[in-house]
Structures are given as structure tokens and as C-alpha cells.
Amino acid sequence: MFGALGRLAARRPWYIIASWVVLTVLVVALAPGLKSTTDQSDFLPSHYESIQATNLMTDAFPQHNDSGATIVFSRTDGVALSGDDLTKAGTIAKGLDLGSDFTDVGEVTPSPTKQVAIVNIGIGRNVTGQDQRDFDQVVDMRKQLTKATDGTALKAQTTGTLPQSYDQSQSGKSAEAIVMLATILLILILLGVIFRSVLAAITPIVIVGVVFAVANGFIGIAAELFDLKADSSLTVILGVVLFGIGTDYFLFYLFRFRELRRKGADHKEAILGGVERAGEAIASAGGAVIVAFLTLALSSLGMFRSMGPALAIAVAVMLVAALTLVPAVVNVLGKAFFWPSKKWAQEPKDNKGFSAIGQSLGKRPARFALVSGGLLVILTLFISGFNPSFDLGSSQSAANVESAQATKTMEDGGLSAGATQPTPVLLTSDSKLDPATFPAFSAALAKVPGVAAVAPQALPSPDGKTTMFIVTLKADPSSDAAISTVKDGLRPAAHDAAPTGTTAKVGGITSVFVDFQAAMNRDYRVVFPVAAIIIMLILGLVLRSLVAPWYLMLSVALGFGATLGSAVIVFQHIKGDEGLLFMLPIMIYLFVVALGTDYNILMLTRLREEAREGKDPREAAAEAVKHAGPTIAVAGLILAGTFASLMLGGNSFLLTLGFSIAFGILIAAFVMAMFFTPAITALLGHRAWWPGHADEAKHEEKELVEA
């Protein structure tokens, strides 16, 4: 297959390029756009309590609207609000010309100290908070409030569902622009320095741009067909993944092409040979990444079920481009591809670094295995300190956005941050409820630590079979403190205090996050093992060995542990954060396992190639490090750099994710693939390839021919 693709790229490059141009135009013109959502209830199955409560509330209270926005009033001079100030605040709120996203405007509620006062505004049904219309209405409301308070002593800030969604969206757009710019500059600089060529630096960026457009279109089609819910951070992560692996696969091919040219092959032969020799490593590596991402479809969380297939689609498109479009473009550009470098086809005389490393590893593989493995084990030990955090709101927005500042104003003014999104507790039965039981139930809820207040009046449904109790938490509804309150206090108290014959359900955004935690724990038990097993099967098929996949997956598992352990050291022990975002382990696992396996595959396929030429295991390992080492080093630096650019995104989630994945990639490239994997392979010798003994194939064929 790779020979056929190579011949096509060598003989008919313009056919390939024209096909990609037509495909890109059609997909961009016809495919639907990719929509994202930050409504976290969209990501949970219906058997969780939070979703059951939401469905019950929709049926029993069709007229009830959740809070869509909260206006926080305070004085610019910092003194307490007077009676006239409160009256003015109410007039301003009632006088707003609100769009269709918003419904009823609540009453002015001052804090006990009257430093601040809030007004909650209801949200319409089926409002996702992600359409441009939603954002326009938030912007319009803020403009009206600015105008209404101009010239007065009042200051009005907004927070709540829609304002927070808008601020997250704006933070995401800023993050996307910064990350993409940093990624492109990094690729341009590194490739320009390595190849001393303008086109060699620009070509992968252009190709990834084409792939990004095509992949986005295919993902949009898949989302529409299968009703996939996309998290708002997907676009940023998608861009980084494509630029990272796209540049990796570009380098896998280009280094082999250049090596063949340096050995005397002509241009067409090198185009063909590059696909033949690098094709298996690229396809195998891409297949492992695709499978790892697809295992996210087994997640119980909609955000991962959508993210996994979306990233898998993007990687599949990039894989096809790497095997077709890349060699076709290199073929068409010819000698101009490496311009202005004049010595690109000459083997450098001072290229002794990786050769020396390879020779040292070949002589002392046990030492390399112990040192590299020991480092991974030490870092892995810090996993025990990992503390998951579920505070998605603050992690995905910058601290200086208005919704975050409004929440801080509330808390500083003595008003519970939970007032922005009260937590509904529903009491339901098959028959009419007895109102005489309500006071005791309400009192039990009020006693829960972390509960600020329970509304004095319960809200009965029209049929009397369901009653809603409005609970205000002390902490921000999306914070870890609020999640702990609901999980460990409010839910057990509501369940225990429910009168005989009734059932209590706790709803609201905090309850959703509690169920997120349970869903993630389930996913860790399912997704991790399935991904590992499937990747092991791929490795076994590619390497035709039952032994090698085991120590390869051991190295990857240690790489995962070392990465997460390093994140704990940096962010919890050094930076002082209370915890790391709950989704970080699964993101690290998938990226480090999938992308880190790329480098292991590249190293072992090269080691096998050298062994097939008749070299003994240690000599083959030395040659593999010498020839594959530079590719892995450059690819690892660029891929790590692209993920590190996420740290410029302006929020704690991207900062933590960027550092962790970048560090994990460096571990995968410079510890796992460069030292640990070839050292173990050298120590095991021919046993590493049992039962296929693929390392001896060509050697045996050579002996047979000579005989």
C-alpha cells in the first residue's frame, strides 16, 4: 500500500494536490459549522440525579425559569447602599429592554451589610448560551446598565449563566488567537533553523491549514448527524493537536526523504522511498492516536464522547494528508523546497551527538534503562497527591472578566456567591404531598453546613405532587466548596429527610458537577484499560511481536504517571493550587499515551529495520538512536512547544493542560523513546520480537539467497 501511495506521489503529484483543493473547497462551502456549548447538563446521561431533577422540574414547573443573569449593584465609593440606591437599582433593572433570552426580572435583594444588592433575571427555555444572539443580548444588557448608572454613585456588574458563558467564549477566542499565533511562530522558527529553508518551514503550516479546514467540516457533519455536543475548548485543542501531529508526521517523512537523498537516491526515488519507509511508522502512529481518541466514545460524559470522535476525525484527515499531500508537495517543489540551503543533501560532518548517544546506549543499555526508568518511577510517586477540582467556571475564564469580578464584588459585600444560581431541591410523590411535612424538610436542608439559606416559601406544582425548595449555597455554585456541600451534605440530608412515600432530588449546576465527578471515576475504570488494550493490539500487529507491546505500554504508563506527578509538583506543591481540574488525568493519558506512542513506534520500526540488515540487537539500537533520534528530538520539541503555547491562553485550565501535555511529550520523546525503549529492546535482544522475530526477516532472506 505504501509503495502504491509513494508511486502516485512520485508520478502524479498534481492529481493529489488538485484532489485536495477540490475537497477543501467543497467541505468549506457545504459543511455545517461546529457549534459548542457550555451547558454542562448537555454532557451527562439521564440516569444521574441532577438530570432527573432537571427533567422533573421541567415537567412539574413549566413556568419556572432558571436564573440567566445576575446584576450586582454596589456603590463606586464603597459605602453601603442607601434606600434611595436600592430603589434606583430596582428601577434600572425593571427598565432594561431585554432580549428574548431573558424572562422575568426579580426583586432587589441586598446583602445583610447592604454593601451590595443583586437582581436575578430568568433565562428562557432552550437557551444554550452559545449562539451569537445570546452573546449579543449579554453585550446589550451590559451597555444598557453602563448607560443607566452613568452619572450616579451606582456600579452595575453582571454574572450568572449567560454572562459567564459570554466571558468564557471571549476568553476562548482570545486563547485561540494567542495559541495559534504562538504555535505558528514556533513551527516557523524551529523548522527554519533546522532545515535553513523558507519553504520547509512554511509548507507544514499551509498543509495543516488545509487539513484544519477539511477536518472542521467533517467534524461539523458528524456533530449534526450524531448530535454530538462540543465543549467550547475543542477548537483550541483541535488546532494544537493538528499543528503538533501534522508537523510530527511531516518530519517523519521529510527526514527519511532527506536521508535517502543524502545516500544518493534521485528526487523521484526519494519521494517514493520516503513514503515506503516512513509510511508504516506514520500510519501506525496515526492509528494509535485515532484509536486512543475513539475510546473516549465509551465515556459517560458527553464532552468526551464528542471530543474523542472529533479529534479522531481530525487525526485521520491529517494521516491521509501526511501520506499523500506532503510527498506530492515536496515532489512539486523539487530542489526549491530546501532553498536557500545549499548543503541540505550533504551529511553533516559534525553530526556526532546522536551517534555518540546511540553508541553509549548500545554498550550500556542496562544503565540507560535504569536511569530513565528510575526517573519516571520517582515522578510517578507524586500521583498520590493528586486532588481533583471541578471548578470549571473559573478555570475556563480569565480572572479579570466582568462575571468573575461581579462574583468577587458579591462575596466582598457579604452576599453568598451561591445567590447567582440557587440550588433547587425537589420533593415528589405519586400522590399529593402533605404541606405539613414541609417545615421539617426545609429545616433539615437549612442545617447542612455550606447552606446559606432556604427560601421560606416552598413552591408547589399545579398538581400538588411535586414541591420545589430553593436553597442558596454559601459558595459559588461551580466551586469545589459548593460541590462538596451538595455531595456530602445537601443530597444525603434531602434523601434522609424526605417524608415516607416521597423522593427528594437535588438539581442545579452544582448537582451536575457532583455527577460529573461520579462519571469521571467510572470513565477512569473503563476508558483507560480499553485504550491500553487496543493500542497494545495495534503495536502487536505493527511489530509482529507479543513481547514488545508489553514494555512499550509499561513505558507509556510510566510516562503518564511522571506527567501527572510533575503537574502535582508544579501546581499543587509549588504554585499552591488546592487541586487540578478533574479532566486533566484523562487528557494527559490520551495525549501522552497516543502521541507518546508515535515516538516509540518510530524508534522501534527503525531499530527493526537496522536489525533486518544483519546488525545485532545492541548495534541495531545504537543505529536506531543515531538515525531516528534527530527526528524524535525535533518532532518532540515542536509538539511540546505547540502544547506549551496553550499556557498563553489566559486561564488556569489551558495553563495546566499546556504545561502537563508539553512536559509529557518531552518525557515521551527524550526519556521513553530515546532511552528507555531502545535500551530495553537491546537488553531483550531477539526475544523482544517473539514470536514473529521480524527483526531477523531480511537477514534470513539474505542468507537464503547466498546459499
Q: How many CA atoms lie within 13 A of 347 on its CB side?
A: 13
CA angle 370, 371, 372 (to 5 degrees): 95
Query: Burial, 376: exposed, middle or buried (Cβ in 10 Å; 0-12, 13-18, 19+)?
Result: buried
* Distance (Å, whole) CA 504 – CA 506: 7
- For the domain 2-30+167-393+514-706, what is the CATH code? 1.20.1640.10
Query: For the residues 7-12, what does the mean pLDDT come to?
Result: 91
β 466-473/451-454 pair status? antiparallel
Taking only the tens place, the pLDDT of each residue in 46-58 is 788 988 998 898 8
DSSP sequence for 212-268:
HHHHHHHHHHHHHHHTPPEETTHHHHHHHHHHHHHHHHHHHHHHHHHHHHHTT--HH
β 109-110/116-123 pair status? antiparallel
Q: pTM higher than 0.85, yes or no? A: no
CATH topology of domain 65-159: Alpha-Beta Plaits (3.30.70)
* Distance (Å, whole) CA 674 – CA 666: 10
* Distance (Å, whole) CA 263 – CA 270: 10
| pLDDT of 161 strictly over 70 | yes
pLDDT of amino acid 694: 67
Q: How many CA atoms lie within 13 A of 110 on its CB side?
A: 17
pLDDT of amino acid 583: 79
DSSP sequence for 653-707:
HHHHHHHHHHHHHHHIIIIIIIIIHHHHHHHHGGGGGTBT-GGGHHHHHHHHHH-
* Distance (Å, whole) CA 30 – CA 217: 8
pLDDT of amino acid 705: 39
pLDDT of amino acid 328: 95
Domain segments of the chain: what residues? 2-30+167-393+514-706, 65-159, 422-507
Q: Which residues contact 270 (CB under 8 A, 6 or more apart)?
A: 257, 258, 260, 261
Distances, alpha carbon 512 to alpha carbons 15, 43, 605, 639, in Å:
52, 9, 46, 35
pLDDT of amino acid 130: 53
DSSP state of 100: T
Give the confidence band of 382 by pLDDT, cuts at 50, 70, 90: very high
* Distance (Å, whole) CA 54 – CA 125: 12
| pLDDT of 475 strictly over 90 | no
The DSSP H or E segment spanning 281 is: helix 267-294
Q: How many residues are there in the chain? A: 707
Give CA 94 to chain center in angstroms.
41
Residue with cell 454596589: 74
pLDDT of amino acid 271: 93
Give the confidence band of 320 by pLDDT, cuts at 50, 70, 90: very high
Q: 188 with 205: CB under 8 angstroms?
A: yes
The share of the chain scoring above pLDDT 90, in percent, equals 33
Residue with cell 509549588: 574
DSSP state of 475: S
| pLDDT of 562 strictly over 90 | yes
- Nearest by Cα to 20 from 275, 272, 250, 210: 210
Q: How many CA atoms lie within 13 A of 604 on its CB side?
A: 30
Three cell numbers written together for 538: 495495534
Helix axes 267-294, 325-333, angle to 10 degrees: 150
Query: For the residues 451-459, what does the mean pLDDT come to?
Result: 90
Three cell numbers written together for 579: 487541586
pLDDT of amino acid 703: 44
Q: What are phi and psi of 457, to 5 degrees?
A: -105, 120
Give the confidence band of 38 by pLDDT, cuts at 50, 70, 90: very low
65-159 has the same fold as 2-30+167-393+514-706? no
Give the confidence band of 65 by pLDDT, cuts at 50, 70, 90: low
Give the confidence band of 536 by pLDDT, cuts at 50, 70, 90: confident
Taking only the tens place, the pLDDT of each residue in 213-231 is 999 889 888 877 876 655 5
Q: 365 with 683: CB under 8 angstroms?
A: yes
Taking only the tens place, the pLDDT of each residue in 676-688 is 999 999 999 888 8
Residue with cell 400538588: 464
Give the confidence band of 672 by pLDDT, cuts at 50, 70, 90: very high
pLDDT mean across residues, the chain: 84
pLDDT of amino acid 553: 87
* Distance (Å, whole) CA 546 – CA 604: 14
pLDDT of amino acid 441: 95
- For the domain 422-507, what is the CATH code? 3.30.70.1320
